Structure 1
Amino acid sequence: MSELVKSLDGLIWSQPLIYLCLGAGLYFSIRTRFMQVRGFFEMLRLTAGGKKSDAGVSSFQSLAMSLSGRIGVGNIAGIATAIAAGGPGAIFWMWAMALLGASTSYIECTLAQIYKQKDDHGQYRGGPAYYIEKGMGQRWYAVIFAISTIIGTGLLLPTVQSFEIASSVMTAWSIPAWMTGLAVVIALGVIIVGGVRRIASFAEIVVPFMAFGYMVIAIVVMVINSDQIPAMFALIMDNAFNPNAAFGGILGLAIQWGVKRGIYANEAGQGTGPHAAAAAEVSHPAKQGYVQAFSIYFDTAIVCTSTAFMILSTGKYNVINPNTGAVLVENLPRVTDATGALVPAPAGSGYTQAAIESVFSGFGASFVAIAILFFAFTTIVAYYYMAETNLEYIARNKAPDWSIKLLKLAIMASVGFGAVWSSEGVWALGSVGVGIMAWLNIIAILIIQKPALLALTDYEAQKKAGLDPTFDPDKLGIANADLWKEIGKGRRISAAVVGDVKPEAAG
């Protein structure tokens, strides 16, 4: 089964998808006039603001929900895997993908806001399936994406998270994988029973805390190894562009793994972020587009880069040719496998644990295990929300109770299975899930980009006029944004009532 999944992964993540991801990011950067650069301070301002309502969560809660999906084992184990398979140069291409991907995230998340709707519980729902149907008018394509997302986030991607939790816990405290998997399944069941509001509240508390703690440790490791920083940057840049003989001429693999793990970690273009973006209560869709573009920076510049710098500055990594298994650069000792043979130390959370252990002896393994527990668990919770949202889409927001219960059981079973399966198997499953969603979503947003671009121009014009931007889809010629028409009508009624009250109060 592992070989079949790996073959499918290689087919999906072929060169065309790598070019599509990079090309779409560059194209959207040009079309938005690099809003992710010139609008950086606006991103910061909007991230801290916003309010929640009975229908939606605040901008910060939406950001936290989105980050809880973006920040997972891809930021710790995934970065180590990228270095192992693509060399240190993969980190440069991860940075490039983040810079370009921020504009892609703006487009997809603004579209999610424009075409969001309310479910039967009065809460906002949205995402690629919704904007594909309303923006493209292709229900069949939307259903295919929804099914792919249910399978990807409900069955495939959770296996990676639970495997790395169990693996890091076993390394740190020698607790059997099945016991860790069972504990995670029980905790997940408690959280997802509470619905989107409990998910938002949980993410709002846990995500900033875990990211800050991880960043602090990374800074300490970097300071202690500060003499290695110049050489580390030189190594990254040299390997990113030069087929250095020491790395077996793996320049193409540096690009491939940098983009592949970059998307896996920050999820730009994958279509997962828009689900959380749609749940936010904002006065203009572009506001949430800005906030979600910032989440790409936060994810990559802080968490992914922290991991990469710790591993590279301490030299705790191997570079392995993924096609032959040959060790090209060996900085970690070999370990004994189940047959007693010496094999390269496995890429993943073990690299990060080794890096921190080299500075904080006896602490690194435990700290990384705790960090992965938080990172991965919040990601699994976010995956459930995405899967549920797409199930509700297919059922027209009237999904029967039995289907919701079945989905909850399925994701819990996936978590339990992933905890005890193989490393190669679960990472291949995760890559398949990410790849299928990325193919479908990026093609869709390239087709229906115009409303998001119109929203950006409208937002900037209102800001220039000194207004707090509000959204009127009819004014911009955007069709099928029905919920925003209701929001606008309610805003006008409220303004009229306030206008009638003021004169009486003054008299």
Structure 2
Amino acid sequence: MLEMLNDFLSGKLLIALIVGLGSYFTLRSRFVQFRHFGHMFSVFKESIRGQGGQLSSFQALMLSLAGRVGAGNIAGVGVAVTLGGPGAVFWMWVTALVGMSSSFFECSLAQAYKRADGDGLYRGGPAYYIQHGLKLRWMAMTFAVLLLVTYGFAFNGLQSFTVTHSLQNAFDIPVQYSGLALAVLLGLVFVGGIKRIASVSDLLVPVKTLAYIGVTMYVIVSQIDLVPDMLTTIVKSAFGLEPAFAGLLGSAIVMGVKRGVFANEAGLGSAPNVAAVAAVRHPVAQGVVQAFSVFLDTFVICTCTALLILLSGFYTPGFEGDGIILTQNSLAAVVGEWGRVFISVALSLFVFTCILYNYYLGENALQFLFGRGRAALLTYRGLVLALIFWGSMQNLGTVFAFADITMTLLALVNLAAVFMLFKVGLRLMRDYDRQRAAGVKHPVFDPKDFEDLDLDPLAWPKNPQPATENERVELIHGAHQR
């Protein structure tokens, strides 16, 4: 029954939700992810520093990449290629392309409806924009419970299982020892709260991402003459035009979308929880940054893994095995035995930061449901650490199937909310676009123009001031032009 339910929800409903609504958001916004693509890099460059001890847009991006760039980029891509063939990679690209618009709007809304938490930081996400934007407390609580179960518990056990078994395969380390070490290290970070989680992610995410891209690019460049033919095979296989993979057309679409969503999380409602913590001048600035993270996750990192597997010569149609071993053996086939060790170490870093991200999502949901009670927080931390240790020694097939179901329900609730608040999202986007068209490089959000919305005056004060004198002059000049 669980398998049948999972097949319908994550194999059919999820595809319709992610691709269908993502396409709708793309068309209605006049292809916002393409129009702002070049702008993404300038926003990213300007977002390095926080304001007054608050988290910066860059730190929020690193937090979201901590979750997006995880086991899904290594093991998930391996699973997609194993079960769906090369064509699954194409459908991962499609999912990311339309998902960039979904991420843009969900993260912009999260910023607009964020709340000051009393400690000089912010909290936000789908539960908050559902409650304050739609006034549907029951729907907000449903989302928070699903988020807590999926990310706080199920996905953490899965991530622990993935990394401990990878270390066992590469170094013959017993899973109970690596599981215990992982739980202890994570516990030391958890006690520092969101600022310590952000600091660790700030350090590890760029290191793990650049190292992984560097090694996989070496493999790709060393076989660059094969890349054009392989890209052609990916596209042809996506439509059943490659004879060797013609029988995998349905699986290519399903696995491409499922594993693509698992990797980049666009539309699931997870990234808005960390997008909301950033101190930004305009909500849309964080929407632009988070759309960039979807691009980086799928078009760069997932594509690197896919080409690594497909160019290695290790993968053949009908391959049987798990995604981790496929990726490890593919790299080892090209660079030697150290490739297996590298994948295991890279996966360990990916999973470590991913669990930090999952933990924070669960903590955010917990605070929404029960407030800032210390007992609830300590109980939650203990349960997460226990589950990480337990998950390292289990076969989590059933848990993973259950997590797939709750992940699809998360997407259903979140995308329904984004759809109902889409007019608000368009207003935010048009306000941002209008200021940029008037020559303002860094648009500033003025809550007086949105007084009909339930915004937090502590998060968005009535008289916003640009950070520098140059920006004040720029804003006045833009107002005169308008």
Q: Sort the TM-score into its range (normalised by shorter chain).
A: over 0.9
2:72 counterpart SS class: helix
Output one character per residue of 1:36-82: Cα deviation in whole Å (capped at 9) or x when no partner. 11211211111121331346311111100010011110000000101
In the alignment, which residue of structure 2 is the partner of 1:73?
Answer: 71
> Is 1:37 the counterpart of 2:34 in the alignment?
yes
Report the equivalent of 1:457. Answer: 430
Q: Is the 8 A contact 1:454 1:476 kept in 2?
A: no
1:401–1:463 distance in 2 versus 1, CA, 3 Å: same
Aligned residue in 2 for 1:488: 462
Note the C-alpha offset of 1:431. Answer: 2.0
Relative to the length of structure 1, the TM-score reads 0.88
For the pair shown, the structure with the greater C-alpha radius of gyration is 1
Does 2:271 correspond to 1:273?
Answer: yes
- Separation in 2 of the partners of 1:310 and 1:182? 31
Partner residue in 1 for 2:365: 390
**Structure 1 position 91 matched with structure 2 position 89:** yes
The structure 1 residue matched to 2:444, chosen from 466, 470, 473, is 470
Contact preservation (8 Å) 1:451, 1:478? no
* Alignment gaps of 5+ in structure 2: 474-482
Question: Could you tell me which amino acid in structure 2 is paired with residue 218 of structure 1?
Answer: T
* CA drift at 1:266: 0.3
Please give the root-mean-square deviation of Cα atoms over the aligned residues, in Å: 2.1
Match of 2:395 in 1: 422
Distance 1:423 1:318, change over 3 A: farther
Q: Provide the rounded CA distance (Å) in 1 between the counterparts of 2:248 and 2:160.
A: 30
SS in structure 2 of the partner of residue 47 of structure 1: helix
- What secondary structure does 1:143 align onto? helix
Match of residue 166 from structure 2: 168
Contact 1:471–1:484 (CA under 8 A) maintained in structure 2 = no
* 1:433-474 per-position Cα deviation (integer Å, ceiling 9, x unaligned): 422211211111111112221111111111122223111233
Cα distance, 1:359 vs structure 2? 1.5
SS at match of 1:469: coil
Aligned partners of 1:252, 1:369: CA distance in 2, in Å? 31
Amino acid at match of 1:69: G
Determine if the alignment matches structure 1 residue 355 to structure 2 residue 327: no
Which string of whole-angstrom CA distances, capped at 9 and with x for unpartnered residues, describes residues 229-279 of structure 1? 233112211210016553362212211111111110000001110011100
Normalised to the residue count of structure 2, the TM-score between the two structures is 0.93
Shift of 1:161: 1.1
CA distance in 2, matches of 1:5, 1:404: 31
Decide which of 5, 9, 17 is 2:6's aligned counterpart.
9
Deviation at 1:120, TM superposition (A): 3.0
1:60-109 CA deviation, whole Å, 9 max, x = no partner? 11100010011110000000101111111000000011111000000000
Structure 1: how far apart are the matches of 2:367 and 2:464?
A: 26
Q: Which residue of 2 aligns with 1:82?
A: 80
Following superposition, the deviation at residue 8 of structure 1 comes to: 4.1
Alignment of 1:299-448 (within 5 A): 299-317=297-315, 319=317, 329-330=318-319, 344=320, 346-395=321-370, 398-422=371-395, 424-448=397-421
Post-superposition CA distance 1:368-411 (Å, at most 9, x none): 0110011111010011111111111123xx32111001111121
Check the 8 A contact 2:163/2:351 in 1, yes or no: yes
The 2-side partners of 1:318 and 1:5 are apart by 31
**Cα distance change on mapping 1:366 and 1:145 into 2, 3 Å:** same
Question: Does the CA-based 8 Å contact 1:149-1:390 persist in structure 2?
Answer: yes
Match of 1:47 among 44, 55, 58: 44
What residue is the counterpart of 2:205 in the other structure? 207
What is the identity, as a one-letter code, of the residue corresponding to 1:353?
Answer: Q
Q: Give the whole-Å Cα distance in 2 for the aligned partners of 1:435 and 1:55.
A: 36
Task: Give distance in 1, aligned partners of 2:337 and 2:17.
Answer: 44
Shift of 1:227: 3.1
List runs of 5+ in structure 1 lacking aligned partners.
320-328, 331-343, 500-507
- 1:20 aligns to 2:22 (yes or no): no
* The 10-residue stretch of structure 1 (10-19 or 351-360) with the greater mean CA deviation from structure 2: 10-19
Where 2:266 maps in the other structure, the secondary structure is coil
1:129 to 127, 130, 135: 127
3-state DSSP of counterpart to 1:250: helix
- Residue 140 (structure 1) aligns with: 138
Distance in 1 (CA, whole Å) between partners of 2:243 and 2:220 is: 28
In structure 1, what residue type is equivalent to 2:31?
F
Q: How many residues align?
A: 469
Identity in percent: 38
The alpha-carbon deviation at position 215 of structure 1 amounts to 0.5
Moved more, 405-414 or 286-295: 405-414
Q: Distance in 2 between matches of 1:317 and 1:166?
A: 24
